Structure 1
Amino acid sequence: MSKQGKLRVVDGGASPPPDSESWKEQLTFNRDGNVEGTLHNLILIFDNDKRLAKLWWLNDSSNQIELTRDPPWSGGKRTEFIDSDAYELAAWLQHPKNYNAKCSDEAVLKSVIAVARRYRRHPIRDYLHSLVWDGQPRVEAMLVEMFGAADTTYSRRAAQCFAVSAVARILWEDPKQPHVGAQVDFMLVLEGEQGKRKSSSLRAIFGSEWFVETSESPSGKDFYQVIQGAWGVEIGEMDSFSKGDVTSVKTAITRRVDKFRAPYERVPRSYRRECVFAGTTNEHQYLRDPTGGRRFLPVRTDGEARIEAIKAARDQLWAEAVQMFLAGFEWWLLPEDAAEQQAARYVGDSWEGRVERWVDVRSDPGKYPERVPVTTMRPGAAGEEVLTWCTTDEVLVHAIGLDPGKHGKPEQMRVANILKTLGWETARRRWPDGGREPRWFRVGFDVDGWMSESKRKQLEAVDDVPF
C-alpha cells in the first residue's frame, strides 16, 4: 500500500458534480464586476477550480501545508507550501486571465489554511495502519541481526522496547487529552567505533523523510520545531555533551507535549510528542550525571550495521511492532540489567575515589576532624567502623585537601554529586552545637550519626555482627 495513505476529507458542504461550473454562481463580485477577494470566494475557488482543487493538504505530523502536485504558477519540483507560494497564488488570482480578483496576501493565506485542513492526513500513522504483518518475528533480534549488537537478553529486550515505543508515540491516544503523546522515558544509545554506520542504520529503520539527525543539545526552542514531523531523532556525539547538555537531553526524552507556534499560526499551542530519540557515540563512557543514567538504554554495536537488510525488513519490523503495541506490550519495562549497563557508562569524577575512601574511614587517620572518633563512629557491617555523617566543607578540606578559601559552588557541587552517587543523603536543620548547615549522612543512619532502627535490625540479622 502507498506510504502516503489516503486523504481524510472534512466535509465543507455539498460539492458540485465533476466538471460542473455551477459553483461559480456562488461567487460574489464588486461594483467593477471583479471577483471580490473575500474568504468565501477564495475558499470556493480553491475547492472547485480544477487547477487548484486538492492541490495542497495539511500534514498532521509536521504541521506543514504540503503540495500534491506542481502548482500552476511554478514548475518547481517540491512538496512544501511556503510563503512565496501564497504571494504567487495571490498574483495568479489577480491575473485578468484567471479571476482578476482583488485579494490580499493575508486573505489568500487564510483561505489556503482553511482548505488544507479539509484535506489533512498523518503520513506516519497512515503508513503504520497500512502494514500487514506476515507473522514472522523479527523485532526481538533486530539489534543483533541488523545493527551489529551482541546476542544477549538485554539487547533483545532493548530492541522490543525501542520499536514498540516508537509505534506508541504515533498510535497511542488519550481521548481526553488528544494533545498529549505516549510516555517514553528512555533513549536508545548505539555505541560503536566510527564507521559502523550507526546513523545510517537509524535512518534506514525510520526512513529519510521521517528522520532528523542533530548533534546540538536540545536546550533551545528551535530544537522542538525541528523535530516536528520527525519520527526518529538521532542525537549524535553523546560523548561530547556536558552535564548540562545531558540534563537537557533527559528533559527532551520525557516530554509528552511540545508547545510552540507552528507555521501559519499566530499563537503558540500544544502539540503531542510523536518522536523517539536515539543517541550515537564512539565512546563507552559518556554519562556525566550519576543520577540520570536511567533515561538511557545503551547498546554496544561492535558489528557493522546491515543497512540493506534493515531497509528490506523495515515494513515487516514496523508491522510486527504495531501488533505488539496492540497486544499490550509494555515498552516501559526495560531490560532487568539496564541499571548495570547504565552505570558502566558513567564518567566518574576524579575526586570520587578519594571521597569514597575518606567516608569509609580508609584514609590516613590524620585526614579526619577531631569530632570523628567521638561522635560519628558507629558499628558497621561485619564490625567495621564507618563515618555516618559529614559536611561538604569537611570533605573538601580533609578528603580533597582544598583550602577553605577555595570552596566555591563548583567544588561544593562536585562533592554533592559524588556523595549522591555513593548513596548518601542530605538534610538541613539547626544543630545542638549551634549554627544551621546542611549535613550529609549515610543511608541507614540519622543526621546525628545514630543508627536507624531499620538499619539495626538489618545488621542484627547478620550473625557475625556483635550487639
Structure 2
Amino acid sequence: MLRPKEDDASCPKPRRRDQSGSARAIVPQSANDSLATHSTDPRWKTRLFVNDKGKVLPNLINVAFAFRNAPELCGAIALDQMSGNIMVRRPLPAIGAARCADRAIDDADAIGLTEWLQGNELVGVQIKTVQEAITMISRENSFHPVRAYFNRLQWDGVPRVDGWLTNYLGAANSAYTKAVGRFWLISGVARIERPGCQVDHMLVLEGPQGLRKSTASKILGGEWFTDHLPDDLRGKDSSVAMKGSWIIEIAEMHAMTKSESGSLKAFITRTTERYRPPYSRYIVEEPRQSIMIGTINPTSGGYLRDATGARRFWPVKVTDISIDDLRRDRDQLWAEAVALFRSHGAKWWPDAEFERRHILPVQSDRYAFDAWEDKAADFLESRHSTTILDFACAVLNMEAAKVGRTEQNRIVDILTNYGWVSGPKDTKTRRRLFTNPKMAKGREVGHPLPSKLSV
C-alpha cells in the first residue's frame, strides 16, 4: 500500500493545539555539573500535538514534550553517566509523589508516570511509550557524580599526595612510595576526566590480615567503591559488575594461580568494556572510568608469578593504617590530585629510568621464582640460543619423552624471565629457537637489571 504524500489532503499533518507560541525545550546541561534548574512551561498542555479532530496524540513526541516542559516532570529524571542508571532526581507526581528522590527509577515509577500523563491530556498513552521517553529524556539530563564531586572540592594548598602512603598507611618514606602513591591517585582523576585513558598499573597494599587495608580502600572510593568482581575477569560479568565503580579492590592476590594472574594483567590494562548489557538489544563499548587497588597478605615465597605481568603491580608494604586521619583528609587528597591533573597536567606513569632504578627492584622482591632458575643460570649465560628440549636435557637432565606441556611452559617462563625472546624455528630440528638479545649485541650475559624482571 502506497504511503500518502505529506501534502495529501487525506493525511492531515499533526498540529499543535495552540499555535501562538513556540515550544520550549530544556537545554541539556554540561555533564561536568549537577543538574541545573530547568525552565518549565505552565501552558505545556496547550502545545501538545493533536490530530485533525483536535484530539491529543498519545505518542512519543508528546510524552517527551511533557517531560521537558511540565513543571511536575521537568528535570526529574537523569542518566547517571557513571553507573548507567536512570535516576530520579526529585519526587515524581502521582503514585511516586511520596517516594524519595536520588534513587534509580523502577517499574512502579513508570506505571505512576503513565497514570499521571493519562490524567493530564495524554489519554491512551501506553507504558511502553512512557518508558521510551524516560530513556530518551534521561540522556538529555545526564550527569556525572564523580566529576561533580571533583568540582565541589577545594584544595587547601597543603601537600598530601606525595606522602599519603607513608602518613596514612604507615609505608616506608621513599622515592618509590612517593611516586607510586602520587601516580595512582592522579590516575584515578584521569580516568574520570578522560574516560578510557591508558592506566597500566595497580597499587597493591601488603600487610597482615586485620590491618584494615580494605577499609582504607573503601574510604578512598566512597560510594563508588566495590570489591565484588567475578572470579573470571575475561567475560562480560566483570564489565557488568564494575559499572558505577571508580575504585575497585582486587583482594587475596596471594591466592591467585598463574593463569588468574595473567587474566588480571589483561584486565588491568583494558581501556574499554565491550559487552551486551542484560535485557539490552545492543552491544555497548564503554570507556573505562575505574582504577584498581590490590590487597594481599603476602607469603615468603612471593606472589608475582609472571615476570612480564609483574610490571603492572606497584607493591607497598603498609604497617599502621590511620583510618580516622584518612577519612578526615580523603577529600583533600582527591582535591590535590584534581588540582595536579587539571592545573599542572601531572602524569600518572613513571619514565623508564625511574622504573628501572626504583620500581623494578621492589617488584623483583615479590617475584615467585621457579626452583629450576638457579640451575639455569650457568647454562643461559654461556649460550646465544637454545630450544626448550635442549634446555630440558642440558639443565634438568630430562628425557625428551618426559618433557610435557607443563614442563615446556615452565621452561618458557624461565627463558622469558631472563630476557630471552622467542625466535624462528631451527632449520635443522624444526624446533622453536629462543635467543638472548644481549649476547647478540655483544654484551655480557646475565640476569637483566637487578632481577629477572626486564624493562
Structure 1: gaps spanning 5 or more residues = 173-179, 361-385, 447-451, 457-467
Correspondence list, 1:197-236, <5 A: 197-207=212-222, 209-214=223-228, 216-236=231-251
1:304-343 CA-to-partner distances (Å, cap 9, x unmatched) read x222211211121111111111202222116541111111
CA deviation string 1:43-93 (max 9, x = no partner): 122234444332211112222111113444245557443452465246524
In structure 2, the partner of 1:54 is 75
**Structural RMSD (CA):** 2.9
- The question of whether the paired residues in 1 share the 8 Å contact of 2:35 and 2:75 is answered with no
Whole-angstrom distance in 2 between the partners of 1:243 and 1:146: 32
Report the Cα offset of residue 100 of structure 1: 6.5
1:123 aligns with 2:145: yes
* Alpha-carbon distance between aligned partners in 2 of 1:251 and 1:153, rounded to the nearest angstrom: 28
1:247-267 per-residue CA deviation (whole Å, 9 max, x = no partner) reads 222222222222234578642
Q: Deviations over 1:402-427 (max 9, x none)?
A: 33222222211110111111222332
Counting matched residue pairs gives 405
Aligned 8 A contact 2:228 2:241 in 1: no
Say whether the 8 Å CA contact 1:165–1:331 is kept in structure 2: yes
In the TM superposition, 1:65-80 aligns within 5 A as 65-72=86-93, 73-74=95-96, 75=98, 79-80=102-103
SS of the aligned residue for 1:298 comes to strand
Give the equivalent residue in structure 1 for 2:84: 63
1:147 is aligned to 169
2:48 is matched with 27
Q: Which of 233, 237, 240 is the equivalent residue of 2:255?
A: 240
In structure 1, the partner of 2:330 is 314
Q: 1:400 to 1:71 in 2, by over 3 A?
A: farther
- Determine which of 414, 419, 431 is the counterpart of 1:418: 414
Instruction: For residues 240-281 of structure 1, give each alpha carbon's deviation from its aligned partner in whole angstroms, at most 9, with x where no partner exists.
Output: 222222222222222222223457864223222111111111
1:167 to 164, 175, 189: 189
The 2-side partners of 1:109 and 1:264 are apart by 14
**Within 2, Cα distance between the matches of 1:340 and 1:106?**
60
Number of the residue aligned with 2:126: 104
Decide whether the 8 Å contact of 1:149 with 1:155 is kept in 2.
yes
> For 2:201, which of 164, 178, 186 is the aligned residue?
186
- Partners of 2:116 and 2:56 in 1: how far apart? 9
Q: Which residue matches 1:6? A: 34
1:189 and 1:297 in contact (8 A); partners too: yes
**DSSP-derived class of the 1:141 partner:** helix
Partner of 2:433: 439
TM superposition shift of 1:187: 0.6
Instruction: Give TM-score scaled by structure 1 length.
Output: 0.78
Determine helix, strand or coil for the equivalent of 2:431.
Answer: strand
Bigger shift: 147-156 or 85-94?
Answer: 85-94
Does structure 2 retain, via aligned residues, the 8 Å contact 1:5–1:130? no
> In the alignment, which of 327, 332, 344 is matched to residue 327 of structure 1?
344
Secondary structure, aligned partner of 2:227 = strand
Deviation readout 1:153-211 (Å, 9 max, x if unpaired): 21111111111111111123xxxxxxx6222111111111111111110111121x111
Asked if the contact 1:134/1:316 (under 8 Å) is kept, the reply is yes
Residue among 330, 339, 359 paired with 1:338: 359
Q: CA deviation at 1:31?
A: 9.8
Identity of aligned residues (%): 32
- Residues 328 and 168 of structure 1: is their aligned pair in 2 closer, same or farther, counting only changes over 3 Å? same
